[in-house]
């Protein structure tokens, strides 16, 4: 991992505590339209989270003709209930801490772009970029990371992607973006099953210290051997 310049947050389940209500409504729809037990639908929603809901349905009910309709119902419900989605109370301090470190902040979500824009209005000055699901070619993963590299002139090795789902962890691995797990929806053991080297913070407020410490380690490691007695570097790091 290089020096972090851009922190990329997943939204639902990471910055916004929406997973319970999303899973509950998704389970209601799955019970109504596919005859699934509510508790089974709930756990299957969680298990496949991190994907657009339409894709979650394709995983659970491959090529079922009801998928498009049910996905549309779910997205409409989300729009109607957007005012219930607010950032975790600790997010403002986290954003302030990251800004103080001089870092850029982005959101990368597979929730619809219009929903992510709406929710993100709570922090217009702290969040640099808000990326949601726009279509099959623009979503969380490679399209979002490419967009961020181009528009912020950073390499993906200078990003850290923070997410709560196992799919987030897989996406980060596939795209070779450093990942930090937030074990609220899944346990750290489940994340380790996807990536044995994954790091995590719990609670999420630990992220500012985690980044600061990781930067310190990188800068110390990066010191050339011949300059190991060059103290101004170290002094500057610890006083930053």
Q: Say whether residue 164 binds Mg ion (CB under 5 A).
A: yes
Cα separation, 228 vs 22, in Å, equals 53
Is 183 an interacting residue with respect to Mg ion (CB under 5 A)? no
Binding segment for Mg ion (CB under 5 A), chosen from 11-19, 30-38, 202-210, 213-221, is 11-19
Distance of CA 84 to the CA centre of its chain: 19
Distance, CA of 108 to CA of 110 (rounded, Å): 7
Specify the stretch interacting with Mg ion by CB under 5 A; choose among 2-10, 26-34, 61-69, 95-103. Answer: 2-10
List binders of Mg ion among 199-238 (CB under 5 A): none
Nearest distance in Å: CB 18, Mg ion = 8
Q: Which CB, 48 or 165, lies closer to Mg ion?
A: 165
Distance in Å, CB of 217 to Mg ion, minimum: 28
Which of these, 195, 108, 103, lies nearest to 147 by C-alpha position? Answer: 108
How many CA atoms does the CB half-sphere of 186 hold within 13 Å? 24
Judged by beta carbon, residue 15 or residue 60, the one nearer Mg ion is: 15
User: Interface with Mg ion includes 78 (CB under 5 A)?
Assistant: no
Residue placing its CB nearer to Mg ion in the complex, 112 or 218: 112
Closest CB to Mg ion among residues 166, 215: 166
Query: Toward Mg ion, which CB reaches closer, 178 or 215?
Result: 178
Distances (CA, A) of 166 to 37, 104, 179: 23, 24, 11
Length of the chain: 240
Residue nearest Mg ion (C-beta atom): 13
Should residue 75 be labelled a site residue for Mg ion when binding is judged by CB under 5 A? no
* Contact range with Mg ion by CB under 5 A, out of 83-91, 149-157, 163-171, 187-195: 163-171
Q: Return the C-alpha torsion angle 156, 162, 163, 164, nearest 10.
A: 150
Q: Is 10 in the site for Mg ion (CB under 5 A)?
A: yes
152 Ramachandran zone, left/alpha/beta (phi>0; psi -120 to 50): alpha
Inter-helix orientation angle 67-80/19-34, to 10°: 140
Q: How near is the Cβ of 155 to Mg ion at its closest, in Å?
A: 24
Considering the rule CB under 5 A, would residue 12 count as an interface residue with Mg ion? yes
Question: How many other CB atoms are there within 10 angstroms of residue 212's CB atom?
Answer: 16
- Residues at the contact surface with Mg ion, assessed by CB under 5 A: 10, 12-13, 164-165
């Amino acid at each position: 991992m290089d020096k972090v310049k851009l922190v990329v947050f997943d939204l639902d389940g990471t910055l916004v505590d929406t997973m319970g209500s999303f899973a509950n409504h998704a389970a209601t729809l799955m019970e109504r339209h596919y005859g699934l037990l509510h508790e089974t639908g709930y756990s299957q929603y969680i298990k496949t989270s991190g994907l657009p809901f339409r894709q979650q349905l394709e995983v659970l009910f491959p090529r079922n003709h009801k998928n498009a309709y049910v996905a549309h119902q779910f997205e409409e419900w989300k729009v109607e209930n957007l005012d219930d989605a607010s950032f975790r109370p600790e997010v403002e301090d986290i954003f302030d801490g990251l800004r103080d470190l001089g870092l850029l902040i982005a959101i990368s979500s597979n929730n619809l772009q219009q929903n992510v824009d709406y929710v993100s209005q709570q922090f217009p000055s702290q969040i640099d970029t808000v990326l949601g699901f726009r279509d099959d070619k623009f979503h969380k993963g490679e399209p979002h990371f490419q967009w961020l590299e181009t528009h912020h002139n950073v390499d993906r090795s200078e990003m850290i992607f923070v997410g709560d789902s196992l799919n987030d962890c897989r996406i980060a691995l596939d795209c070779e973006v450093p990942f930090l797990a937030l074990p609220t929806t899944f346990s750290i053991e489940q994340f380790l099953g996807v990536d044995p080297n994954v790091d995590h913070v719990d609670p999420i407020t630990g992220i500012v210290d985690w980044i600061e410490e990781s930067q310190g380690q990188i800068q110390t490691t990066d010191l050339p051997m011949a300059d190991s007695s060059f103290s101004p570097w170290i002094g500057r790091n610890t006083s930053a």
